[in-house]
Amino acid sequence: MSKTEVTLGIDIGGTNTKIGFVDRAGNCLVATSMPTVAPVEVGPAEELSLFLERLYQTIEKTYASIADTTELKGIGMGVPNGNYYKGTVEKPTNLNWEQYVPLARILQEKYGIPAVLTNDAKAAALGELKYGVAKGMKNFLVVTLGTGLGSGFYVNGDIMYGADGFAGELGHVTVKVNGRMCGCGKKGCLETYVSATGIRRTVYKLLADHTEDSPLRKVSFDDLTGEMITEAALKGDKIAIEAFEYTGRILGLKLADVVAIAMPEAIILFGGLTRAGDYLFEPTRKYMEQYIMGLYKGKVKILGSGLVGANTAVLGASALIWNELDKRQLQPA
Amino acid sequence: MSKTEVTLGIDIGGTNTKIGFVDRAGNCLVATSMPTVAPVEVGPAEELSLFLERLYQTIEKTYASIADTTELKGIGMGVPNGNYYKGTVEKPTNLNWEQYVPLARILQEKYGIPAVLTNDAKAAALGELKYGVAKGMKNFLVVTLGTGLGSGFYVNGDIMYGADGFAGELGHVTVKVNGRMCGCGKKGCLETYVSATGIRRTVYKLLADHTEDSPLRKVSFDDLTGEMITEAALKGDKIAIEAFEYTGRILGLKLADVVAIAMPEAIILFGGLTRAGDYLFEPTRKYMEQYIMGLYKGKVKILGSGLVGANTAVLGASALIWNELDKRQLQPA
């Protein structure tokens, strides 16, 4: 019997690292998760070599259950600050790794199969292209709404990497010249308004400005999460709904700029905050339409992610390597 | 003796239509210009058929002088609202043409050689790539500063056309939500600040706000041109210099957004206002650097056009068709 071809998708997040083995059709045959940093009571964050040791164990244990029936073709990874061109992770924050880790080469040498990496938002875009709502599209982008705001642009039928592999930092376009302080050192960046962190700040501003009662008044800033705000909105809390309206207005304004520049077929919103549904999508659509020029009005779809289940990030990482394997096959020998 | 291969570049502007025959190396062997709309004392603007008649005469008369020594391979056109994908000019303003003119097909059938068109800013980008300062680059953009502001993005080694051929409308990203009225129906578009028209508005605002004497106080709004403001700045006029500073600040702010999104190697400024030199380039560079995130600082060059002489727009249109001819040669038969 011929074996099913699979790829290994790895999503390295700030908190958890997820891995999964995915076939060509996008079925995740087996998946698991491990903490990105090993829990230590005292002492410095884990070194790269120890992380890799745990990662290899996790990969091998997980693959064991399907090793007899599958053939592993390659490895794709989504990593914050991942540089597709060089296969490196550069200046990773929150990790006690070296400044430039050649992670693609390390995995490729370890397992003797092709390995590629990119950042998480670009992997998500490839996931939507291969398995989600962007099938067949040549021009679209994915906006990931997590702790920060990331984006992956697909232009002319390929991911837009820019001159050095780091294009797509939509989280750091300027909304307001003297606006909210951003972790990047600038002020007024889009992700200080539109992200889980951004909407927390908006909720606190609204709680300060208004007098309405709200369950969110009982939660400290440090304890407040995007999930709580989403839940509150879905239950009709006025402050939470107003926070989503404000978030959508700013996102819509900047997406109108994106449309003027890149004229995508669709913009796909991805991540936890999208669970708020119309509370987020309606104002985003409304204000985007308001701020785009006549020629473009009504032409650009704003969609929710088409990736389902718990393994969306793994599917994106897997799509990256499937894409790469297909490209290499097309190359003349 | 073998004949020199040439292409015909046509730049259709609101006022003049320029044509020229260009060899592969970018030498414009012969060129001329005609009014886009025939001068008529009374009556409606010229119809398309009459424009074409004049165009054909101009082309044939001009080509006659080099017909014996050259072989004409194709026709490239830069046209406002030109759609590369369809070869059409859509809803041309200021012209009494039909709403959708299949101009590429018309020229192709008339002369029996390939003809393509795009808008003028995208043609300028291809001109810089082939003959100017963008040689060898894979990711850059050209910003054209004329009556309006246009842009042509080159991404992953190809012009970014977007879903419908009209990507690159950088002139219509929003600077200020309730800012200056724009001809497109929106408010606060970039081109209402950064363009020949935009800097005229800025000069009038500065003349209203300040009391300094200036030769520009003697010129009516309708008579004022970008050229006059440039001349005044070069002669040290404070109002004109301040107007360029303001223009460069707004341009720098929005180019920082462009860098976050597309991470180009270089941004090339093109058009009459660039004659002001450092009065425009210095504030543009300074504010762009100020508004981009740390990762990108110092990495993106802002350059002046590398196309010289009177025929820059013709060179761009010619580069478009050379590019197309090269692509077609690469296609499998």
How many Cα atoms within 13 Å fall on the side-chain side of residue B184? 25
Cross-chain CB nearest to A172 (options B168, B177, B293): B293
Task: Compute the nearest-CA separation of B179 from chain A (Å).
Answer: 12
Statement: residue A148 has pLDDT above 70:
yes
The number of residues making up chain B comes to 333
- Cβ of A173 within 8 Å of Cβ of B262? The answer is no
Cross-chain CB nearest to B155 (options A160, A174, A257): A160
Strand B149-155's sheet: what is its strand order?
B158-159, B149-155, B140-145, B266-270, B301-304
In chain B, residues with a C-beta closer than 8 Å to the C-beta of A169 are 260-261, 263, 293, 295-296
Return d(Cα A35, Cα A18) in angstroms, integer: 9
Fold of A4-125+310-330: Nucleotidyltransferase; domain 5 (3.30.420)
* SS3 (DSSP) at B225: coil
Mean pLDDT across chain A, nearest whole number?
Answer: 92
Cβ contacts from A onto B, under 8 A = 134
- Cβ of A156 within 8 Å of Cβ of B155? The answer is yes
Residue A42's pLDDT is 44
- Cβ of A261 within 8 Å of Cβ of B291? The answer is no
Phi and psi at residue B89, in whole multiples of 5°? Answer: -105, 120
Task: Give the nearest chain A residue to B156 (CA atoms).
Answer: A160
In chain A, residues with a C-beta closer than 8 Å to the C-beta of B262 are 153, 160, 162, 167, 261
In chain A, residues with a C-beta closer than 8 Å to the C-beta of B265 are 163
Task: Compute the nearest-CA separation of A196 from chain B (Å).
Answer: 20
Residue B327, CA distances (Å) to B276, B318, B320, B332 in order = 37, 14, 11, 10
- Cβ of B295 within 8 Å of Cβ of A139? The answer is no
Task: Compute the nearest-CA separation of B328 from chain A (Å).
Answer: 17
DSSP 8-state class, residue B78: E
Task: Give the nearest chain B residue to A188 (CA atoms).
Answer: B291
- Cβ of B264 within 8 Å of Cβ of A184? The answer is no
- C-alpha dihedral, B63 to B65 to B71 to B75, nearest 10°: -20
Q: What percent of chain B has pLDDT over 70?
A: 95
Reading the block at residue A304, the tokens are 């929710």
Of B116 and B37, the one with more pLDDT: B116
The number of residues making up chain A comes to 333
Cross-chain CB nearest to A262 (options B156, B162, B299): B162
Residue A16's pLDDT is 86
Q: How confident is the model at residue B98 (pLDDT cuts 50, 70, 90)?
A: confident
Return d(Cα B144, Cα B128) in angstroms, integer: 12
Task: Compute the nearest-CA separation of A219 from chain B (Å).
Answer: 32
Return d(Cα B142, Cα A145) in angstroms, integer: 31
Statement: residue A19 has pLDDT above 80:
yes
Cross-chain CB nearest to A257 (options B173, B263, B296): B173
To test the contact with chain A by mutation, choose from B170, B187, B263 the residue with the greatest count of A C-beta atoms within 10 A, namely B263
Residue A333's pLDDT is 47
Residue A296's pLDDT is 84
Return d(Cα B246, Cα B260) in angstroms, integer: 22
What mean pLDDT is predicted for residues B207-223? 95
Q: What percent of chain A has pLDDT over 70?
A: 95
Per the listing, tokens 């705000």 go with A229
Least confident of B92-101, B185-194, B212-221: B92-101
For residue B312, the Cα-to-chain-centroid distance in whole angstroms is: 9
Statement: residue B299 has pLDDT above 70:
yes
Phi and psi at residue A73, in whole multiples of 5°? Answer: -100, -25
Mutual angle of helices A238-262 and A278-291, in 10-degree steps = 40
Q: Give the closest residue to A6 by CA, choosing from A325, A332, A327, A230.
A: A325
Residue A313's pLDDT is 85
Task: Give the nearest chain A residue to B137 (CA atoms).
Answer: A163
What's at B82, amino acid-wise? G
Q: How confident is the model at residue B331 (pLDDT cuts 50, 70, 90)?
A: low
A77 CB-near residues (< 8 Å, 6+ apart): A9, A10, A11, A12, A103, A104, A107, A115, A116, A117, A118, A123, A317, A320
- Cβ of B139 within 8 Å of Cβ of A265? The answer is no
Task: Compute the nearest-CA separation of A260 from chain B (Å).
Answer: 5
A308 CB-near residues (< 8 Å, 6+ apart): none
Q: pLDDT for A207-219, tens place per residue?
A: 999 999 999 999 9
Return d(Cα A45, Cα B157) in angstroms, integer: 41
- Cβ of A299 within 8 Å of Cβ of B163? The answer is yes
Statement: residue A322 has pLDDT above 80:
yes
Q: How confident is the model at residue B42 (pLDDT cuts 50, 70, 90)?
A: very low
* SS3 (DSSP) at A322: helix
Q: Do residues A310 and A69 lie in contact, with contact meaning Cβ atoms separated by under 8 Å?
A: no
Of B87 and B41, the one with more pLDDT: B87
Residue ranges, CATH 3.30.420.40, chain A: 4-125+310-330, 135-304
Which residues from B are below 8 Å from A when comparing CB atoms?
Answer: 138-139, 151, 153, 155-156, 158, 160-164, 166-174, 177, 184-186, 189, 253, 256-258, 260-265, 291-296, 299-300
Residue B333's pLDDT is 47
Residue B94's pLDDT is 64
In chain A, residues with a C-beta closer than 8 Å to the C-beta of B169 are 260-261, 263, 293, 295-296
Task: Give the nearest chain A residue to B262 (CA atoms).
Answer: A167
Q: pLDDT for A22-50, tens place per residue?
A: 999 999 999 999 998 877 654 456 788 99
Task: Compute the nearest-CA separation of A68 from chain B (Å).
Answer: 40
Fold of B135-304: Nucleotidyltransferase; domain 5 (3.30.420)
Strands (DSSP E) contained in B183-270 are 266-270
- Cβ of A173 within 8 Å of Cβ of B261? The answer is yes
Q: pLDDT for B136-157, tens place per residue?
A: 999 999 999 988 899 999 999 9
Return d(Cα A8, Cα A322) in angstroms, integer: 10
* SS3 (DSSP) at A100: strand
Statement: residue B35 has pLDDT above 70:
yes
Q: How confident is the model at residue A109 (pLDDT cuts 50, 70, 90)?
A: very high
Cross-chain CB nearest to A261 (options B186, B258, B294): B258
Q: pLDDT for A232-281, tens place per residue?
A: 999 999 999 999 999 999 999 999 999 999 999 999 999 889 999 999 99
Return d(Cα B96, Cα A146) in angstroms, integer: 51
Task: Give the nearest chain B residue to A81 (CA atoms).
Answer: B295
Phi and psi at residue A116, in whole multiples of 5°? Answer: -135, 155
- Cβ of B163 within 8 Å of Cβ of A264? The answer is yes
Task: Compute the nearest-CA separation of A167 from chain B (Å).
Answer: 5
How many other CB atoms sit within 10 Å of the CB of residue A147?
A: 19
Residue A81's pLDDT is 85
Of A102 and B120, the one with more pLDDT: A102
Q: pLDDT for A294-306, tens place per residue?
A: 878 999 999 999 8
Task: Give the nearest chain B residue to A182 (CA atoms).
Answer: B293
Give me the DSSP letters along A138-172: SSEEEEEESSSEEEEEEETTEE--TTTS----GGG
In chain B, residues with a C-beta closer than 8 Å to the C-beta of A156 are 155-156, 158, 160-161
Residue B33's pLDDT is 94
Least confident of A115-119, B38-42, B292-296: B38-42
Which residues from A are below 8 Å from B when comparing CB atoms?
Answer: 138-139, 151, 153, 155-156, 158, 160-164, 166-174, 177, 184-186, 189, 253, 256-258, 260-265, 291-296, 299-300
In chain B, residues with a C-beta closer than 8 Å to the C-beta of A134 are none
- Cβ of B161 within 8 Å of Cβ of A158? The answer is no
A141 bridge partner residues? A153, A267
Residue B328, phi-psi category: left (phi > 0), alpha (psi -120 to 50), beta (remainder): alpha
Statement: residue B271 has pLDDT above 60:
yes
Task: Compute the nearest-CA separation of B309 from chain A (Å).
Answer: 29
Return d(Cα B198, Cα B226) in angstroms, integer: 9
